[in-house]
Amino acid sequence: MPKRGYHHGNLRQALVEAALKLIEEKGPTGFTLSEAAKNAGVTPAAVYRHFEGREDLIIEAARQGHEIFADLMEYAFNNGEPTALKAFEATGRAYLAFARKYPGHYMAMFESGISMQATPELAAAATRSRSILERAAEALSEHIPPGKRPPPSMFSAHIWALSHGVVELFARGRPGGNAPFPPEDLLEAGIGIYLRGLGLITPDQ
């Protein structure tokens, strides 16, 4: 296959895109740097001009994923409009939408085993996406008396875990992962039960 002519500025991104496709096909630890180089149309030596190794390449894919994820969450939250409840529910749905639309990024972020503190840039991107869900939780829990109000970080962590579980078990098309209900319905029902337990919505909502 003829080598593509990349300018210095976009070879790095071409390698990330090649890695993302390989991650989708083989998982975050199932490919080599040589394969990423081949898919990007360059020699393996060219990879090392931009990345120290495969982990460094996965870290960059995860960082970009968190940036996309945070943008989607921010859009879904919509500054708490039209209501704190609807904005909070929208952030949960955004989690499922992201996992479906960006599976390579999702796997790099959550299934590669890399630490979110691997680089300051990755840590900042991960913190931004998490903080949006915490803001949504904080706005919603303002209706709970202070003494009974869970910390926003705990509140958001519960919903994050529920969303992640629905994605992993039912929204990724894995063998044996078919559910009798759509993933969106499972997530909405689970969030509803959780919020009723906190007294934030009434039984008939």
CA distance 161 to 141: 18
- What is residue 64's predicted lDDT score, i.e. its pLDDT? 96
Q: What is the mean pLDDT of residues 27-48?
A: 86
Where exactly are the structural domains of the chain? 1-51, 58-197
101, 55 contact by CB (below 8 A): no
CA distance 106 to 180: 24
- What is residue 124's predicted lDDT score, i.e. its pLDDT? 94
- Per-residue pLDDT band for 2 (boundaries 50, 70, 90) equals very low
- Is the peptide bond prior to 82 cis by the omega test (within 30 degrees of 0)? yes
109, 65 contact by CB (below 8 A): yes
Q: Answer whether residue 201 shows pLDDT above 70.
A: no
Q: Please name the fold of domain 1-51.
A: Arc Repressor Mutant, subunit A (1.10.10)
- Per-residue pLDDT band for 192 (boundaries 50, 70, 90) equals confident
DSSP characters over 55-92: HHHHHHHHHHHHHHHHHHHHHHHGGG-S-HHHHHHHHH
Provide the token pair at 196.
């009723």
CA distance 88 to 153: 14
Work out the mean pLDDT of the chain and round it to a whole number. Answer: 84
Local structure of 140: helix, strand or coil: helix
Q: Calculate helix-pair angle for 8-26, 54-77, nearest 10 degrees.
A: 90
CATH number of 58-197: 1.10.357.10
- Per-residue pLDDT band for 61 (boundaries 50, 70, 90) equals very high
Phi-psi region of 194 (alpha: psi -120 to 50; beta: other; left: phi over 0): alpha
Provide the token pair at 50.
């931009």
> Using alpha carbons only, how large is the chain's radius of gyration in Å?
20
63 half-sphere exposure, CB direction, 13 A CA radius: 16
Q: What is the mean pLDDT of residues 15-39?
A: 91
**Chain centroid to CA 164:** 9
Q: For the beta carbon of residue 113, count every other beta carbon within 10 angstroms.
A: 9
Handedness of CA 97, 100, 105, 107 (dihedral sign): positive
Q: Which residue has the tokens 């970080």?
A: 153
1-51 and 58-197 have identical folds: no
- Per-residue pLDDT band for 1 (boundaries 50, 70, 90) equals very low
